[in-house]
Structure 1
């Protein structure tokens, strides 16, 4: 607290002032609020060495306090003190704005308050000048810090908050505002929800899940908690929640919710889709055998040669691939491809092509793998429901092209894939960033490779070990070639701490780790290895690169 307080007053804070500033919990903005409030109350005194709390001037008109009031001032009261200097119109505008979420537009306020934009010009200008509001993204505003919003929010009685939130949501819906904006408003009204938002959520969940899956998941969880089991809407909510939780990789949530939906649904299509989500969530948590049992049980209730029967059958093929039963997976995928083609079902046919591509990959036949992958990509078209399959196959295509030294085409596919992953908010984005770094390394753009790796902060659970192995393996070799011994050792230590597995022993730094003592890192001189699908890239003795399989994923994880 000493440093921010000294910057404000030019002197060190005294013991009593420091004690009062502990309310700020280290936040410099909150320190400023408390100091400003104490200054306005005349409660600060200066001597030659420090600024300290001292006898206050008489309290402002309309208060009964004085020194005792200032002595006991809380952080919330310091915020309220700032707001008390604003005009009544500005405070009214701010209370309404506090109910509109973390950021809001002037249009939102005009709709809710029923006022023209010009009528809000003076209150908004005053709030910005007072440091209460500040510009946000686009043409929106936000509160300078959260506690100001919280104080205003809590100043509105709960019953009135519920009514205002309902009116605001209905106004935004009537104006055909985006589902994301309505969801943002609903999320900010956690204590104001009383069930009125459930109907809107049931009608718009599918769109919201595609555009803002995190927000959809939060709202659906809350709606399910507020809806009784005998409510006819609860199955719809659970159905959407299973989809949303799966999309945001919350598999521990997706599995039990999908199981509840599966126990209630009798309609074949609903059961098929729910079984797919449940089985995929099980597969991504390394429960492949259980995922096969799940789909086989539901398939027994479905008519053969129907879309969902074919889709669940090809899922079983993918699970067999994950278990290393490649021949069984290939035979089942080939059969599904025939059925899916006759049904003109892009989903079953696309996943069949994907599975066949992976079996050829495992057999070290990159040409056939590329052919099946290319045909599968063509099947997905622009169907948003198949965007994850498209990303999966494009990522695998990048890996195969990398093996085949077709680097220009690899770069083109990776650029398209990276863009789609960003637009859809796919959990696969981190993998594509790692692949871009790997490709940059192979083409001699080492600084670009390190820049790509630096953008990776969190690793999806699917690649919690394999991606760090790629990143730190390549970074260690780059550092060693540049004689940056400390950096190389740091990356190698991370690599050493990873659990044992093929992603660790078959990456770029494997021979490097085996041949060189970490206490005296030398420039590596490694020989090339080329074993498609099973090896990792290695440096040639001349410093150029040879490529094994893309080290972004192991063969088995590519199937997911």
Structure 2
């Protein structure tokens, strides 16, 4: 490509390029360099790769690409040229960049790229903007950046639905970790989207999360730009200087180490100094004068040619970052736009600034760095403080003000105090800042607490918020230390209750809940407490007892809290007290009594942003309760509501819990393919240990029943990585999976031991009790079956829930070897919507009939056939094979085999849900649209689409449509 002497010039005139297979691109209008042109020389090979990927994305096949190299090597120019080609191919192009000043603030490059601004006419963009500014949620437990991440991913999905898109994040090495995480998520989904995702970055700093991107992308989609080759250096210098470089100029250019930016600045500096002359042969010669010895010196030379007024404006702009809003520049300089325009025009004419959409930007980050670094640190910090004050007074978004305050706390001069106005501003926005950028909140609040007077009432409020921020960044020890120290000097009862709440959370999360009880009891005796304060403290005591496993006492104290509250209104105390009462009911198996408590609590906390976490807990436990009452459809709906709210508010912990609840309900309902998908939607590193163990336990149970032993043991190994942190805590699905592992290994006695060891406590699942009864009956240990039967019969008598009554019949049938009773149990499980339990009961009935002295072979064959059919519908091949072997010993053979899915690849291997999703993909629907149609989450749909692509062996959604047409023909 681009053979010949003429370089590719972007922005001077339109150029048509033939790029293979009669595929044309029209290049024009990218960001200019010094004189309005942008030269791209010596990058033919790299550009051809990018153009090939653009061709792919235009055809519906996405890619994730990393372009890396040293500063000034031409990374951005190369990608801009590719973006011009993409725009000519009618692709959408979105460009954002990281910034060293803003790297602690989440998502700024993506917000800039996707034009997320207040007042946007696009509803999705406006919703994201409102979310990040606390307009939707900002309560405890919310992570605004995580919530916005989900919304951004959904927005990209919708944009790609309109037409193919290119999304570039330049200066990725300065991007915050949330941006990098979103980039990684998008990179994993490019097979599903017509998206070319490009990350542009320098070799350093090389953080762990950035290294993971290189592993994710792989060598095939990585472009590393090195120095220009000597012929390309001479070609570039010739284009910049207006003629063939002479010997001296060529030698001087050789010292630029093939760096295009250095070459550009060097030649421009020589030109400004009138040090270049073109002879009659068109050779450019040096005419003397000093030349810049380095790239920084060359940039300084360019800036030195500007008037002092323009340099002052540029220094103020440098405080705002590489890209900046002209409105913000007007605010921080307190200068009318009309007075700024001459300086800005001069800076643009000199090649220092360029247009960037509706805003301005420094032509290259190194130019901005030169301006910024020449200011003494003390002066720079003072300017930042002044800029922060001006932006705060103008009610600028929180992140813009915080960005200007951060240099104050990052300077090595710890004597720089936090201004009084900044303390007041921090108190006002602390909750929002913690939700949006907890790391930034820690840095600013820590310095504010240090500088505030020890006896100032403001200090206690600041310390309270600082402890919250430390808790959010998982520095539990520091959060507890700060909250405990503040309790020694704070007297305001509202602040003290908040501090006690933080201490209780910290100690509970580190297994030291008991340490809180004495302090809370003492707090109740303090003078000046109102009923709402006492009620809140009683709730904290109840929560502590709950953490210690004493749920009954927790319920009693929660009742006392409601009595203490009386007619006074406090949504937090009332909601938490009702939640604790519902947990007490659940623990003793009183599901009917728990459900109205959830409904009362939900009515109280609904819509309160400060109670989002409690709302999620209530909804998740409501789903568990509905599942226990055999109201499986309602249980899934409640868990889906919790999932949607957790996604929307960025509550990663509750999202994982909601997904785990959905997985367990689907397991019981026999929707095993869907269960396998749901438990993998959230990655393990975002789950609590119990949730991760439960999810892997669900998957292992399914794999064992399906005879996929290797996959089942892989799941158990993954669960073991988390189980160490649980201590003696029992995770029901994991215990059942471990029992199945011993059964598969031919050790049913050890399987029974695992299950009986897990039967402690009142809240043991009915499924675990049924499995233990089955194994005990098979082993001839009737005593265990008797104990289980007495336990479940008592529960069934109290609350005749279908699966409870079925379990009581099942246990009695096992004890009495009564086939008819076991068939009644199977009917009860059918009514309860629990196919695996039904198959177990039918199997036991068939065995009872086969062992009957009256030789009831007909009933045995019928029960055996029905059990086999149910197992086959679940694709439980291990159970089918085991059952057939068992009944061959009785001389009973089943009839025709039930047809089930055998294929592992191709269209016939798709599950029913995958088939429905594939059909909607063929219709052209995006993942969010499919999610809305099928009442799934976009994450779940994305996982399904990934499975579809793998099973069909294709690379894009367009390929799915082709496969569908081929299958139908």
TM-score normalised by length of structure 2: 0.44
- Any conservation in 2 of the 1:417–1:432 contact (CA below 8 Å)? no
- Any conservation in 1 of the 2:449–2:463 contact (CA below 8 Å)? yes
Q: Write the distance in 2 (CA, Å) between the matches of 1:409 and 1:466.
A: 24
Q: Which residue of 1 aligns with 2:427?
A: 205
Q: Which residue of 1 aligns with 2:737?
A: 509
Deviation by residue 1:116-175 (Cα, 9 ceiling, x = unmatched): 399498689889x9999977xxx7788899777655432333243233323322222222
- Residues 124-273 of structure 1 mapped to structure 2, 5 A cutoff: 150-187=369-406, 189-191=408-410, 194-210=416-432, 212-213=434-435, 214=438, 215-227=440-452, 229=454, 233-273=458-498
Q: Write the distance in 2 (CA, Å) between the matches of 1:255 and 1:455.
A: 29
- Residues 119-518 of structure 1 mapped to structure 2, 5 A cutoff: 119=341, 150-187=369-406, 189-191=408-410, 194-210=416-432, 212-213=434-435, 214=438, 215-227=440-452, 229=454, 233-302=458-527, 306-426=531-651, 428-432=653-657, 434-435=659-660, 438=663, 441-442=666-667, 444=671, 446=673, 450=677, 453-456=680-683, 458-459=685-686, 463=688, 465-477=689-701, 487-497=711-721, 498-499=723-724, 501-504=728-731, 506-507=733-734, 509-516=737-744
Give the 3 Å change call, closer, same or farther, for CA 80–510 of structure 1 in structure 2: farther
Instruction: Note the aligned Cα RMSD (angstroms).
Output: 5.0
- Any conservation in 1 of the 2:332–2:386 contact (CA below 8 Å)? yes
Q: Write the distance in 2 (CA, Å) between the matches of 1:398 and 1:233.
A: 42
- Any conservation in 2 of the 1:258–1:274 contact (CA below 8 Å)? yes
Deviation, 1:283, is 1.8
> Aligned residue pairs: how many?
506
Consecutive unaligned residues in structure 1, runs of 5 or more: 1-5, 12-16, 519-526, 547-560
Deviation by residue 1:266-301 (Cα, 9 ceiling, x = unmatched): 233332332232223222222111111221121121
Q: Which has the higher contact order (CA 8 A, sep 6+)?
A: 2
Deviation, 1:313, is 1.4
Give the 3 Å change call, closer, same or farther, for CA 225–126 of structure 1 in structure 2: farther
Deviation, 1:427, is 5.0
Consecutive unaligned residues in structure 2, runs of 5 or more: 1-40, 47-68, 74-201, 207-213, 215-221, 238-248, 274-288, 747-754, 769-834, 840-870, 877-969
Deviation by residue 1:82-136 (Cα, 9 ceiling, x = unmatched): 9869978997666434422687434323433435399498689889x9999977x
- Residues 6-85 of structure 1 mapped to structure 2, 5 A cutoff: 8=43, 24-25=203-204, 60-61=269-270, 64=290, 69=293, 77=296, 80=299
* Greater radius of gyration (CA): 2
Q: Write the distance in 2 (CA, Å) between the matches of 1:545 and 1:404.
A: 26
Q: Write the distance in 2 (CA, Å) between the matches of 1:402 and 1:505.
A: 15
Q: Write the distance in 2 (CA, Å) between the matches of 1:509 and 1:387.
A: 33
- Any conservation in 1 of the 2:636–2:665 contact (CA below 8 Å)? no
- Any conservation in 1 of the 2:352–2:363 contact (CA below 8 Å)? no
TM-score normalised by length of structure 1: 0.72
- Any conservation in 2 of the 1:358–1:369 contact (CA below 8 Å)? yes
Secondary structure class of the residue paired with 2:603: helix
Aligned: 1:105 with 2:330: no
Deviation, 1:407, is 3.3
- Any conservation in 2 of the 1:261–1:274 contact (CA below 8 Å)? yes
Greater mean deviation of Cα atoms: 100-109 or 116-125: 116-125
Q: Write the distance in 2 (CA, Å) between the matches of 1:403 and 1:79.
A: 73
